[in-house]
Amino acid sequence: MSVGTVKAVPFHEKSYWEGRFEQENHFEWLLSWDALKPLVESYLDPNEPILHIGCGNSRLAFHLADDGYPHVINVDYAENVIQQMKAETSPKYDRIEWYAGDCLNNLLFLLNQHDLHDGFSVVIDKSLCDTIACGDDDEQTSQQKLAHQVGSLVRIGGVWLCVSFSSQREHVWDQPSGMGWKWKREHAIPVPVNHPNSLPGAPEIFHYLYINRKVPA
């Protein structure tokens, strides 16, 4: 008897995403803006830029702009998706920006570029955290790096709105950064997911919205 092998999708590899974006024009991960809007709008300020990390080919920036939050700064490490999204951005969305960059390492240039010396008030991450968790080690080094990098971009009192399929995503985030601040989990909100084809009696499925606030350590 032969034992089959299971091939895991390499969600943590840049080459996977670049290959995928060669074929894919649009895929909205986990929650749509319609589902998120009532949960996050109280954290958004129309006069402040919103940083959307791991943007992929999500249409979130356009929905935000249509609803009165015109300045959305999107970042993804796949250069091809950034080029595609730039090409799709009509002049109507003249305050939506697209950058190629690695969210684990190197985003501080965004602060200087936007004269934001205290940092952003809001960062949105829709399933970037899941992607990064896929390739992580036992110490969760990459997730720690993400928490640290986002913390370097957000001002004290600002928030990281993080959408994940996992109910276990928060425990690496509440450790002190060693730089005078830490993340405080304010809410972990289970959001029921509609599955129109579910059989009667199928268990309910949830995605999770984590609201993390940067506070003094």
Binding ligand SAM (rule: CB under 6 A), the pick from 56, 70, 119, 158 is 56
Residue 81 Cβ vs ligand SAM, minimum distance, rounded to whole Å = 6
Task: Single out the segment in contact with ligand SAM by CB under 6 A; choices: 32-40, 72-80, 180-188, 209-217.
Answer: 72-80
What are the backbone angles phi and psi of residue 82, rounded to the nearest 5°?
-65, -40
Question: How far from 22 is each of 17, 29, 79, CA to CA, in Å?
Answer: 9, 17, 11
**Residue of 119, 110, 138, 128 whose CA lies nearest to 179:** 119
Indicate which single residue of 36, 49, 58, 158 sits in contact with ligand SAM (rule: CB under 6 A).
58
Minimum separation from the CB atom of position 145 to ligand SAM (A): 9
Q: Does 84 bind ligand SAM (CB under 6 A)?
A: no
By the 8 A CB rule, do 140 and 168 touch?
no
Task: Give the one residue of 36, 55, 61, 161 binding ligand SAM; rule: CB under 6 A.
Answer: 55
Q: Report in angstroms how near the CB of residue 27 gets to ligand SAM at its nearest.
A: 6
Beta-bridge partners for 76: 100
Burial status of residue 191 (CB atoms within 10 A of its CB: 0-12, 13-18, 19 or more): middle
Minimal distance, residue 150 CB to ligand SAM, in Å: 11
- Contact with ligand SAM (CB under 6 A): which of 103, 159, 161, 172? 103
Beta bridge partners of 182: 215
Place of tokens 């970042």: 75
Q: Which is nearer to ligand SAM, 76 or 97 (CB)?
A: 76
